[in-house]
Structures are given as structure tokens and as C-alpha cells.
Amino acid sequence: MGKGLYISRTVAVVCVVVAIAASAVIIALSVVYSQEKSKNEVVPTSTAAPSSTTSSVTSSTTPSPPKEPWERYRLPDSLAPVSYNVTLWPRLEPDRDGLYIFTGRSAVVFTCVKETDLILIHSNKLNLTTSQGFHATLAGLDGAAAPPLSRTWLEVPTQYLVVQLSSRLQAGKSYQLFTEFTGELADDLGGFYRSEYMEDGYKKVVATTQMQPTDARKAFPCFDEPAMKAVFHMTLVHPQGTVALSNAMNYEPVNMTMEGQHLTQTSFEPTEVMSTYLLAFVVCEFSFIGTPPSAPVLIRIWARKKAIDEGQGDYALEKTGPILAFFEKYYNSSYPLNKSDQIALPDFSAGAMENWGLITYRETALLYNSESSSNGDKEWVATVISHELAHMWFGNLVTMRWWNDLWLNEGFATYVSYLGADSAEPDWKIKDLIVLNEVHGVMAVDALASSHPLSSKEEDILKPEHISELFDSITYSKGAAVLRMLSEFITEDVFSKGLSTYLRQFKYSNTVYTDLWRHLQMAVDNTTSGLDLPDSVEVIMNRWILQMGFPVVTIDTRTGNITQNHFLLDPDSVVDRPSQFNYEWFVPVTWIKTGAVQNQYWLLQKEDANSNMTLGAGDWLLANIDMKGFFRVNYDSENWERLLAKLGSNHKEIPVINRAQLIDDAFNLARAKLVSTTLALRTTLFLFNETEYMPWQTASRNLDYFFLMFDRSEVYGPMQAYIKKQVLPLFTHFKELTANWTKIPDNHTDQYNQVTAISMACSTGLEACEKLTTGWYRDWMNNPYKNPINPNLRSTVYCSAIAAGGLEEWNFGWSMYKNATIASEADKLMYALSCTKQPWLLNRYLEYCLDPEKVRKQDATITIVSIAGNPVGQPLAWDFIRDKWDYIFNNYGGGSFSFARLISGVTKRFSTEFEYKQLQQFEEEHAEGGFGSAAMALDQALERTRANINWVAENKEHVLTWFEGQTASTY
């Protein structure tokens, strides 16, 4: 699954604008919100269950272990599905009660592996039709006799249909279980759900799916675990004039009449053997563009008719074929299917989902409009398509056995998505951007004592909410980073050869991570290039995936001593998660000595020595070339001074990625009290002469932390003045490069850095910048039908203008947001509306977030987070979340992984004892209801807040003195 929420680089930079610009008008507000009742959840009716299963669940600090099979969250190993035959009829208009529903029937063929008198099959929020008092019918196949049913019921806590039999099923025999059911086609973005959009003044309804991780059971009863692979025979009944899609190609649709309605029945070819979470089906009025039917693989891009007519699917179609071809070569394996449908949905919780043969996307992840979309939007489309296509083999053809190895699916797809996108857009140099997009960000999370290993034990990941928690940055970004590191030290060629044999051996089946290590080891053993590894792939990599965190490698260039320690942002935090490796790693250290690349060195223990790392006069040393290793680097003070001097005298002698790395390492080492905060700030001095994107973006992100901590204090003024001084040459550079802002730079990352220059210049009050952005926005207001603002700059300009303006500017932005027909444009406006300094407008916007007619459910959490990113909006958003938590949790999907981002985003500014106590109180007040997928994020928020409190207390005076010293002549 693609990452759940996309914040463009433009928006990420603009976050700093809000933090800086709005701080000047911080006011204290006390807002009391009225409580709202949670909607009643539709629960399936059922016959009475045995008394042992109907007792209410009591809250207990130490729950008793489950006694019955249906009380356990994992299926027993007694049955194995073979095939499903499923027919579904979604109603695209509400019934007399105002509900959208679907009806269906399912017949699953399964084999009895071990004799049993119990059938457990997942079913959630389905009303099952009873026949002779039972929820299902059982038949024997191939001469097997089906035992009579004894009783059936729905076990709601574990989401099972339980079928007790009068006698045992026989091992080796096959049976068929038949069910009929009704479900709600809700707008909850999970299972079989509905999406809505307006077209020519009419509301259109789409019936679509999102099964991963545990919502196929909301569409029909099924054995809903990744290892329970089967073949699916799907049939959809739908209104005439609509089209039905599923994983496989359809047979010729047949028109029919049922219950007085003119309908079409579309059946599909059998799927390949696959997991339930990869199943997808859609009923819609979309149109498509595609390759000729005679093409070896039929590629179709589906979307709203207007979007297709406007050419918004053209870029996706243009790049899908080449990316597929790249992965066929990379894996040395043909694409497993005969078609690849990709569909852009108006409402979709994640970025995209790799359903085999029918990939579903947010509109922003698939559609691109050259007149309205930015280069960041274009990059997002390319990388998400690449991510999802990578899954067609790695994840779909070969699937993890259980969700504890989700990191292998998503980390791998994240890593190779950069390779696929690079093959499609070689001029972008996108492989370098993995450091900014994945590595730097996830290091901040993995440096917390509340982090978690990449791979967990199966028995620790049981409940659906436990599974949803795993869809986090550790799984995606750290997974990508450590696989990138592995690929680097065994070489990309050996890595891809190991993948090829792995896919060939395990196709259509399931694996655990050690299976991949074994095949990569085989490739290493068969190479003739003489790889000099210190141990096996498994021994090396287990230290990176079975224990959380990463090391800081400290090199003393005076003695050649080199050490490693578990890096923690808060050195006073307590690590209570044991590690069998004692938080030591096998670290591949690449390094440069005075500009010359040296032989890779392996640090295999806590402390070692390398005489080659001692420096003579005039030498300097830099480790972790291009940040290919997942670790931070510290040096003795003399080498730090030499590196700072080199940055000041000729920064281009240090590779651009490492210039960014030096900034990021220094700021994070300072937060961990390993270097002084003033040393970290000194790594930004050279930016006065820097024009490359990566160092500037890294500095912007790290300085953003300073604004989060100090924008309500006396540090704010001198800090503003310093950044204004540093960014002025960059602003001038891009003014000249773009002929006074009349054109866009040719280079991909220069386009990003132009946004950085404008954002930071405007945020620090540079008059020329403010005049530029507000003027552009006013020109648009005067002629709404002709937007004069270049798509790359729109997020920045919209945010700056709305922040500088009032009700008129906000209302204009809201009107353009509601009328936007291009999703990426709507996203830019949706974010910019959170930039206003008017508290009452932010309060109103927060209320809009819980009205799906105003803000789509898929966008609610990210909008609240955006408002919290505004210093004026942060206390408002926190009050709002606390007051509305139960409603949001119950109606906006507490199992969604976006909830972790909600908690993290709203609390990231917390840095006082008062805020810490508020967070503790929030945890206590909602302990009984729980936090679903946000539970881990809440622990991290508490830890982060405590670290912030300590950091501010220790650094405020030093930071103030340094900024005042740098701006004494201007401030």
C-alpha cells in the first residue's frame, strides 16, 4: 500500500512559513466545545451464541488468555481455502432508511487439513441471512459427506462467523460453505464502501474497496489472513450504464432485470492464487484511456470522465508501461497478469493500494494536469505508480506469511519505487531524494525509546488495530533505508539476482523474511566480484530488523578510535525493550579522506580502531558517503572544525547529499547532547553561498524544530533575522535565474529550491517576497478564471497570501477549493486555508473537518494536522481533538493508520510541563476506549514532549545568544 498521506515538498516548506509568520499574532484562547454523540454502529444480527461467548468484555489490566478458538484472533490451521465464488450487488442509491447497502452471496471451497468440528471464517459488519436457523450452509464435495450444523453465531470481538458441527470434517476432504448477506455500503473508506463526487451538478456514487489489512471480511465472509490464498471468481451486479471492474478481466456483461431494476451482470475470469487483502472491485461511471487491446499487457487508467477528457490520466499511462518493463528486467520475471488497471478514486484513505490487476489510488497519486499540477505532484504520481507496480511481484506474487513482516512488503516497495521512477524520469536524479523523503524523517522516529523493530514476533501482532499500527514510517521508510543499505554493500546487481530466485521459488505462496536473506546469500555466494562481507546476510541484517533504533558512529580522527552507541534523541529516556544484540550493529562505514574515497570499513563491535582514520594537518574526514548507511556520524571536535571550515571555504568539495547529512546529523546530535547546539547552528552558515536543494531543505526542516520550540519566546526575533540574512542570496539567485520570476528553472531540484527560497523569504518578512506573493494572489482574485500563479509555487503563494490576508482571502480560497476539479489543486488550497492567522476562521475550519460535505473523510485528519502546524491553530486543534476524540475515533476509522499522524501532528509543538500533563490526562480519559492505531503514536508523543521540555530548558539561552551574535548588525 502506498503511503497514506502525501504532503508535497512545497507544502512541507510552507509549514515553516506558517510557523514563522503566524507567530507574531499568537493569542491565548479558551474554547469550550459541545460534546457530540457518536453514531450508532450498524452491527449484524445473530442468533444467540453459547453463554461462554456472549459475556460482555470487561476491562482488565491483565486479560485472561482466550479459552476457545473463536476467542483467538488468528485462524486455526485446520482449514485451507481453495476458491471463492462471490456475487455482490451494490446499491448506488439509498434505501427508504437513507442507507446505501449491498447484498451478496458467497460459496467458499476449502480443504480440511486437520480433522475438526469447527469452522471459523471472518465476517465483520455483515447481516447474514439465516436458513433453518443457521447463518450458513455446508456441503461436501467429491463424495465427502458434510456433517450437520450444530449451531452458528457471530463472534463480534474477533470478527468470526462461528460454525459448530455435529461431527468432524475429514482431513484431506473438500467442502463448500455458502452464505448470503447484506452489508452497508458506508463512506468509511474500508471494505466495500462508497465514494461520492459531483459531475455536472449531479452527485455520482462509486462502489469501491479497500481490503488491506483486515477489511475483506466486511465485503463477504472469508478466511482473511495473508497466507490463506485462494482463487476468486467474482460477479458484480450493477446499474446499466455503469462499468464493473475487478482484479481479473471481465467476460461479456449481460443485461438483466431484477427486482424491477434494469441491471448488468459482469462476471470476471478467475484470479490467480492470491490473498484476500489484494481483492478489489469497483462499480462506477468512469471512463479510461489505455493501450491497444492487442498489447501484451493491457494497461488502462480509469478516472472521472472529466478528468480523463482533460488528459489527467495521460502521464500515468505514459509511465506505467516503462516502469512495468523496468521491473520485469529488475526481477528477471514477466509481469504475472494480462492486464493492469489503475483507477483514481475521489475518496480513498491511503495513497494507493496494490490490488493485483486493479490498483486503486487517491486522485492526487494517479492524475496529473500539466497546467495545474506541480513538479512535486508529478514526482508523487511517478513514485506511487512505481511503488504499487513493484508490489505486483514483491507482495502479490510472493506474500508475507503474516503482518509482522509487513516491513518487507512496504519497505521493499518504497525502496525500489525510487529505482522504477528513476528509470522513467532519469533527469530527476530521484534516487538521491530518498535521503530527504525517507531516511532523515524516519531517523527522528527511530531515535525514540518508544520506537519498535522492523520485524515483530507473530504472536505480538494479533488484533486488527495491532496490524494497522504497523503501517507507519518505520515499516515504510526505515524498511526502505536498510534495504538500500543492504543493496549497496552487496551491490545492486547481486541484490536483484537474489530477488529473482526468491520470486521464482515462492511464487503464489507465502514467506518469512529469512527466506529472502537465504536467497540473497545464495546470490552473494555465486558472485565472482569478491564481496568481502564480515558475516552472512542474515547475521548482518538481523541486527537491523530485530532490534529497534540505529547507531551513532563516533570517529576520533586524532586516534583512529571508532565506536558505536544506540542513538537516542533524548539521552535520558529509558529503553525498556530488550535486544538480543544489546543494541549493537554490524555497520558498513564508507568514508572520504580529504576528498578521496577510501575502502569500506565494517564496525562489528562497540569499539574498534582504524589507523587509517587518523588525520594529518590539513586533512578532513567524512563518513557515510551519500548517507547509504542507516546511522548517524559524530567526530572529534577538531574534525568538526575542519568540516565546518571546508563548508565555509569550498562547500562543493563535499558531496551535496553529505552537505545535507552534516546538517541533519549535527542538529540531531545536538538534541541528543552529543555536540553543542551552537555547533549545529554553525552548519547552516555556509548556506549563504549554497544554491542546492538538499542542504537547504534539510536546514529548513531542522530549523523548523527551533520554531516549534521558540516561536512563542524572545528567541523568535533574532532567529527570524538570521534566516532572513541567510536566505536573501538564495532568493536573489532564483529571481535572476527565473528572469524576475517569469519562468521556472529547468532542473528538477532547482524547482523545489525556488519554492524554498520564496517560502523562507516571505516567512521572514522580506518585503519584496510578500509583495510578490500577495500580488499574484490578488491578481487571481480579480480574475478567478485565470490563475497566474505557476503550479510549483501555488502552495507557497496561497499560504502566504491567506496568512497575510483576512476573511476575503480565506473565503476566496475556500470557494476555489470547493470548485476545484483537479485533486492536486484542491489539496494545495486545502492546506493553504490552514495558514490564516484568524482564530475564528481556524475554528470554523476545524468544524468543517467533521462535515464530509465540506471536507472529505480521507482529508479530515491531515487538515486538522495542518491547522495544528499553524501556531495560532495548534491550541485550537488540540482542544478540538480532545473534545471530539470519541466522535472522530468512532466515525473516522480508529483503525486507520492516519490516526497515528493525527496524534503526532497535533502534539509536535508540545514543550511545557502543562502540555505534558494535558497529554497524560488525555491518555487517562480515553484509556478505556483505547486509541486504536494511534496507541504507539501517543507513547511517542509523551516521550517527544518530555525530550522537548528538557531540550528547551538546556538550550534556550545558548540559542538566543548565538542568533543575537549572528544578527547584531541587522537586528
Catalytic residue numbers read: 388
Q: Kindly state the cell numbers that stand for 111.
A: 480443504
The edge-to-edge listing of strands for the beta sheet with 116-122 is 116-122, 160-169, 149-155
CB burial class (10 A; 0-12, 13-18, 19+) of residue 252? exposed
Integer angstrom CA distances of residue 574 from 568, 577, 676:
10, 9, 22
Concatenating the DSSP letter of every residue in 559-590 gives T-EEEEEE--SSTT----S--TTTT---EEE-
Q: How many CB atoms lie within 10 A of CB 64?
A: 8
Backbone angles phi, psi at 683, to 5 degrees: -70, -10
Q: What angle do CA 624, 626, 632 make, to 5 degrees?
A: 40
Helices (H), 672-766: 677-682, 693-710, 716-737, 748-763
CA quadruple 74, 77, 78, 84: dihedral, nearest 10: 80
Task: Give residue for cell 486509541.
Answer: 931
Integer angstrom CA distances of residue 125 from 44, 101, 217, 218, 893:
5, 12, 8, 6, 14
Q: Biggest alpha carbon distance in the chain?
A: 94
* Percent of residues in the chain assigned helix, strand, coil, to nearest 5: 45, 20, 35
Residues 924, 907: Cα–Cα separation, whole Å: 16
| CA-closest candidate to residue 349, choices 885, 819, 902 | 902
| CA-closest candidate to residue 229, choices 412, 402, 468 | 402
Integer angstrom CA distances of residue 268 from 8, 342, 355, 537:
38, 17, 15, 43
Beta bridge partners of 149: 165
Helices (H), 250-374: 305-309, 314-331, 363-366
Task: Give residue for cell 436458513.
Answer: 131
Evaluated on CA atoms 359, 365, 367, 368, the torsion sign reads: negative
Contacts of 141 (CB under 8 A, 6+ apart): 109, 173, 174, 175, 176
Task: Give residue for cell 449491498.
Answer: 102
Helices (H), 39-196: 51-54
Please report which helix (H) or strand (E) contains residue 521, including its range.
helix 513-526
